[in-house]
Amino acid sequence: MGVRPPSSDTSDPDAIEFGIAVLDDVLADASVSFPADRETVVQAIGDQSVPYDASGNSIRLADAVAEVDTDRFESAQALKNDLYPVFEKRRQSTSNSILGQLRALVPF
Protein backbone atom coordinates (compact mmCIF):
# COMPACT_ATOMS: atom_id res chain seq x y z
CA MET A 1 0.00 0.00 0.00
CA GLY A 2 1.50 3.33 -1.02
CA VAL A 3 1.08 6.84 0.19
CA ARG A 4 0.74 9.73 -2.20
CA PRO A 5 3.74 12.08 -1.94
CA PRO A 6 3.06 15.58 -0.70
CA SER A 7 2.16 18.08 -3.36
CA SER A 8 4.74 20.68 -4.31
CA ASP A 9 1.96 23.25 -4.35
CA THR A 10 2.06 24.92 -0.93
CA SER A 11 -0.95 27.18 -1.45
CA ASP A 12 -3.97 26.12 0.53
CA PRO A 13 -7.17 26.96 -1.38
CA ASP A 14 -9.27 26.15 1.68
CA ALA A 15 -7.54 28.76 3.87
CA ILE A 16 -9.51 31.90 4.57
CA GLU A 17 -7.55 34.98 5.55
CA PHE A 18 -9.02 37.69 7.73
CA GLY A 19 -7.93 40.38 10.15
CA ILE A 20 -4.22 41.05 10.47
CA ALA A 21 -3.32 38.57 7.70
CA VAL A 22 -5.33 40.61 5.20
CA LEU A 23 -3.99 43.85 6.66
CA ASP A 24 -0.45 42.65 5.86
CA ASP A 25 -1.39 42.44 2.17
CA VAL A 26 -3.11 45.83 2.23
CA LEU A 27 -0.10 47.52 3.83
CA ALA A 28 2.25 45.87 1.33
CA ASP A 29 0.21 47.36 -1.54
CA ALA A 30 -0.17 50.80 0.06
CA SER A 31 2.58 53.38 0.08
CA VAL A 32 2.73 54.09 3.80
CA SER A 33 5.98 55.10 5.41
CA PHE A 34 6.23 54.94 9.17
CA PRO A 35 6.07 56.69 11.54
CA ALA A 36 2.71 57.91 10.32
CA ASP A 37 -0.30 59.57 11.84
CA ARG A 38 -3.84 58.27 11.63
CA GLU A 39 -4.87 60.49 8.69
CA THR A 40 -1.82 59.51 6.63
CA VAL A 41 -2.55 55.82 7.13
CA VAL A 42 -6.21 56.21 6.16
CA GLN A 43 -5.31 58.23 3.05
CA ALA A 44 -2.70 55.69 1.94
CA ILE A 45 -4.98 52.70 2.49
CA GLY A 46 -8.03 54.28 0.90
CA ASP A 47 -11.57 53.02 1.31
CA GLN A 48 -10.74 49.33 1.73
CA SER A 49 -12.53 46.84 3.91
CA VAL A 50 -10.92 43.99 5.80
CA PRO A 51 -12.78 40.83 6.79
CA TYR A 52 -12.52 40.27 10.53
CA ASP A 53 -13.85 36.70 10.62
CA ALA A 54 -13.99 33.59 8.46
CA SER A 55 -17.62 34.29 7.53
CA GLY A 56 -16.56 37.34 5.53
CA ASN A 57 -17.92 40.03 7.85
CA SER A 58 -15.77 43.09 7.29
CA ILE A 59 -14.97 46.56 8.58
CA ARG A 60 -13.70 49.56 6.66
CA LEU A 61 -10.10 50.21 7.63
CA ALA A 62 -10.83 53.90 8.14
CA ASP A 63 -13.46 52.91 10.73
CA ALA A 64 -11.10 50.43 12.40
CA VAL A 65 -8.32 53.02 12.62
CA ALA A 66 -10.81 55.49 14.09
CA GLU A 67 -11.51 53.04 16.94
CA VAL A 68 -7.83 52.94 17.94
CA ASP A 69 -6.75 55.24 20.79
CA THR A 70 -3.37 55.99 19.18
CA ASP A 71 -3.00 58.97 16.84
CA ARG A 72 0.49 58.02 15.59
CA PHE A 73 1.95 54.68 14.59
CA GLU A 74 5.73 54.22 14.83
CA SER A 75 5.78 51.16 12.56
CA ALA A 76 3.57 48.85 10.54
CA GLN A 77 3.79 46.37 13.42
CA ALA A 78 2.55 49.02 15.86
CA LEU A 79 -0.42 49.68 13.57
CA LYS A 80 -1.21 45.96 13.39
CA ASN A 81 -0.85 45.61 17.16
CA ASP A 82 -3.28 48.49 17.71
CA LEU A 83 -5.80 47.19 15.17
CA TYR A 84 -5.78 43.59 16.42
CA PRO A 85 -8.12 44.30 19.39
CA VAL A 86 -10.56 46.09 17.06
CA PHE A 87 -10.76 43.06 14.75
CA GLU A 88 -10.95 40.66 17.70
CA LYS A 89 -13.77 42.61 19.40
CA ARG A 90 -15.79 42.55 16.17
CA ARG A 91 -15.10 38.85 15.64
CA GLN A 92 -16.20 37.96 19.16
CA SER A 93 -19.33 40.08 19.02
CA THR A 94 -20.37 38.41 15.75
CA SER A 95 -19.71 34.89 17.04
CA ASN A 96 -21.73 35.59 20.20
CA SER A 97 -24.79 36.72 18.27
CA ILE A 98 -27.70 34.37 17.63
CA LEU A 99 -26.92 34.35 13.92
CA GLY A 100 -23.25 33.61 14.63
CA GLN A 101 -24.19 30.70 16.86
CA LEU A 102 -26.52 29.29 14.20
CA ARG A 103 -23.77 29.56 11.58
CA ALA A 104 -21.43 27.63 13.86
CA LEU A 105 -23.95 24.76 13.98
CA VAL A 106 -24.15 24.41 10.20
CA PRO A 107 -21.27 22.28 8.92
CA PHE A 108 -20.97 24.09 5.55
Domain map (residue ranges) of the chain? 20-105
Q: Is 48 exposed, middle or buried (0-12, 13-18, 19+ CB in 10 A)?
A: middle
Q: What is the pLDDT of residue 98?
A: 62
Spatial separation of the C-alpha atoms in residues 75 and 51, rounded to whole Å: 22
Mean pLDDT lowest for which of 44-48, 54-58, 101-105?
Answer: 101-105
22 band by pLDDT with thresholds 50, 70 and 90: confident
The predicted pLDDT at position 74 comes to 95
Tell me which H or E stretch contains 77: helix 76-95
